[in-house]
Amino acid sequence: MPFTILFLGKADKLSLLNGFRNTYDNQQIRSAFQVEDARPLIEQEEPQVIIVDFDREDVHPLEIVEQLQEACPRCRMMGILQKASFSLAVKAARMGVDEVVHLSEEPHKLEEKLSEWFKDWEGQSRGEDLFQKQRHEYDFSRIIGNSPAMQNVLNMLTKIIRRKWVTVLIRGETGTGKELIARTIHYNCFDRYQPFVEVNCNALPENLLESELFGYEKGAFTDAKTRKPGLFELAQDGTLFLDEIGDISPKVQVKLLKVLEEKKLRRLGGTQDIRMNCRIITATNQDLQKAIEEGRFRNDLYYRLNVITITLPPLRERGDDVLLLARHFMAKYGAEYENPLEGITPEAEALLRAYPWPGNVRELKHTIERIVLLSEDKMLTREALEEAIESETPQIMTEKPASSGMQIEIPPGGISLEEGEKFLIEAILQKTNWNKRKTSQILKISRPRLDRKIEKFNLKP
């Protein structure tokens, strides 16, 4: 709908709006003389602005304002008059009139104020359009899966959205759709004025993650040139999604637990507490119970985060969901790349079911996208699927057992567990030419955890 202005007054003053009318598209101006005539226009057009002629003598303009505020409480209100009247302007402001323009003293202010309100409305409209698009994208009906495991997830989601502020922990292997579930919860609970803020805890070192989450005051550390609000503040009244929560350091775990318990936080270098009111959703691909047993994750923080748990099954355990998802991605990318496929051959269906999909839905999505992009066939064939799977599978460096490729000599006096850990990490780093990605894959630990070990043992290339 266009930006609508409703003018109440004599028709000869409508010419005052010509400048605005000629400057902007997607706007319309309606007019009426009496409030009774304006009411149906308000109901039909839902105006953003109502302008009242304060020069009229048949009725006091503030009586008109009072009646219009009842009819359209969300409308911005403006009064215009030829001669300045300070007392009238003050009374109007006290009643909630947003602006009173004295045409004889500030003739340009009418158009300037309308332009300002139009731009505000335009930005809000774009925000509303984006929010509605996201709400549609993350609607429950768009979560694909008929398997019992996914039906359990959907049943849990319908219960969660009735509990707006409850903390949720999403568990699942990499690529199972944890972010999709987090966004689905948010966009089915909140409106567009309530933000969704996310951070990948795995991607940031400890000091940077701490400053991102909690913010900092000017001068809190060397590079803190200005005050910066943290993600908790930016997520106020909305959702904060902490992905890969199992990778946060013990120091950050302590601060996070304190925030969850006290519902308030303090910026780095700050002296004042800030109220925290947002829904916390966390996600992990780790076994947090095992992390607790190994001393890597706090037991008390786990129970704070584990109010409600959603466990996403790996794709290999979802039966024929893999076929539903494959057809969904075929339709999506077929339209996007203008290369639609008509179906899936029986041989390809068998492979889709048999392949374990270690990268889960994400791997399937990228595989189908590649096939659609490069395919010259009308069907998804087994040959195309095998080729795409092979190209998507990462070539992870494998190591020979220690007895055949890596010699470990134990000193006569023995070696401590910590010294052995240091030796093993250093040996594999040297073996991979300090390729941290390969080293973390071989050791089966996350990259941030490897970085912490390197720092702890003071290892150098």
The residue from 76, 108, 129 where one domain ends is 129
Is 135 within the bounds of a domain? no
Query: For residue 433, what are the CA distances in angstroms to 355, 406, 408, 438, 450?
Result: 33, 15, 19, 10, 15
Is 134 within the bounds of a domain? no
Residues 109 and 165 in one domain: no
Nearest-5° angle of CA 287, CA 293, CA 297?
65
**Which segments in the chain show pLDDT lower than 50?**
395-404
Mean of the per-residue pLDDT values of the chain: 87
Q: Give 372-428 pLDDT, tens digit per residue.
A: 998 888 999 999 998 888 765 554 333 434 433 555 556 656 677 777 888 889 888
Number of domains in the chain: 4
Q: Can you give the pLDDT at residue 407? A: 57
Residues 180 and 245 in one domain: yes
Q: Are residues 206 and 252 in contact, defined by beta-carbon separation less than 8 angstroms?
A: yes
Residues 279 and 321 in one domain: no
Q: Can you give the pLDDT at residue 244? A: 95
Query: pLDDT above 70 covers what percent of the chain?
Result: 92
The pTM for the full model equals 0.62
Q: Are residues 459 and 425 in contact, defined by beta-carbon separation less than 8 angstroms?
A: yes
DSSP 351-401: HHHHS--TTHHHHHHHHHHHHHHH--SSEE-HHHHHHHHHHHS--------
CB count, 10 Å around CB of 196? 21
DSSP single-letter state for residue 268: B
Q: Can you give the pLDDT at residue 403? A: 39
Q: Can you give the pLDDT at residue 461? A: 84
The residue from 392, 421, 439 where one domain ends is 392
Q: Which residues of 37-53 are buried (b: 16+ CB within 10 A; e: fewer)?
A: ebbebbeebebbbbbbb
Q: Give which of 192, 181, 131, 178 is closest to 158, Cα–Cα.
A: 181
Q: Can you give the pLDDT at residue 411? A: 61
| CATH number reported for the structural domain that contains residue 426 in this entry | 1.10.10
Is 37 within the bounds of a domain? yes
| CATH number reported for the structural domain that contains residue 125 in this entry | 3.40.50.2300
Containing 402, the helix (H) or strand (E) segment is: helix 402-405
